[in-house]
Structure 1
Amino acid sequence: MTDPKPMQTEGEEKRLLIVDDDKPFQQRLARSMEKRGFTVETADSVREATAKLNVVAPSYAIVDMRLEDGNGLDVIEKIRQIQPNCRAVVLTGYGNIATAVTAVKLGAIDYLAKPADPDDIIAALARAPEDKAPPPENPMSADRVRWEHIQRVYELCDRNVSETARRLNMHRRTLQRILAKRAPR
């Protein structure tokens, strides 16, 4: 594997925006990226990220999918409008294929599961567009993918069990039992 450090051309500043509402994770990631030569700005919300984007456009971004005041995809869309060449990576603890596809369509270059290792993030930011990401070492099981899908629909229905059950064509009590269980591995 090639060294992911040569990510910039001569004179280019490595401005990085990290948008994550998990403050300890955000701060650890910011310190790690500063050690790797990035000039880091952080934001805790869609609103704060938008305000920072209006001041200075980053050349790189790491955006959490779920934020307290909205969706990280809104930040990705705003980044594309302001800085089309920004290389953005989406992080999430609630990964699913539909969201990953949407993130890439909006302009993200990769989609990683949290907690992502800084080296994996750097590799994603440095990867050439024609290079494919290596397959995951421990992909989600089919049960986990199903559980993630149910959780996503449940969240999209504002945590309304009856509406979620209707949309999933599932009995409400069956859905309640699934929601009461822990996530499969």
Structure 2
Amino acid sequence: MEVLAAELNNQAGFTAANYSAAARYASGAGEHEKAIAWADQAINAPFFGQKNWATMSTKGAVLTAAGKTEEAQAVMDEAIELPGATTFAIHGYGRQLIGAGKPDRALEVFKYNHKKNDGAWPTNYGLARGYSAVGNYKQALKYMELAKANVPAGDTVNPPIIDQNIEKLKNGEDIN
């Protein structure tokens, strides 16, 4: 941690990306207060701080790891509205919420992503995952079938997985 702190204090260290990386490292090492401070610097430091998806999602992650879930949710609510929050980034955040045992919140995020991105791929898949996570397999099946109909041309990976998930949903099984 001392070496990392020293590296952040030299000219090459003064970047939002470096402070975000340091925050994630510190969080993984259990240094939660230092992680939060570095995440804040990645966002707000004069000259190099940047408020974008990468820095805000880092702050959300370190706050979550520190047990500050309400603060983390507020940060992530703001992060998903930023211009750099891509369809896939928001989708990934929704999947993280499912993995964290927060299916209702995940469904809200998937609904937001679908609305924000006009139903673009993979937002229907996300809604299928969200509805499945809350046990609404009928709605999940509806959106999984829409996802199948909108698979990008040339995608050979997702169609067989989608077909498997359609069968699971028809059998009343969760796809997450």
Same fold (TM over 0.5): no
TM-score (norm 2): 0.31
TM-score (norm 1): 0.30
> When you count helix as a share of all residues, which structure comes out higher?
2
Greater relative contact order, per chain length (Cα 8 Å cut-off, separation 6+): 1
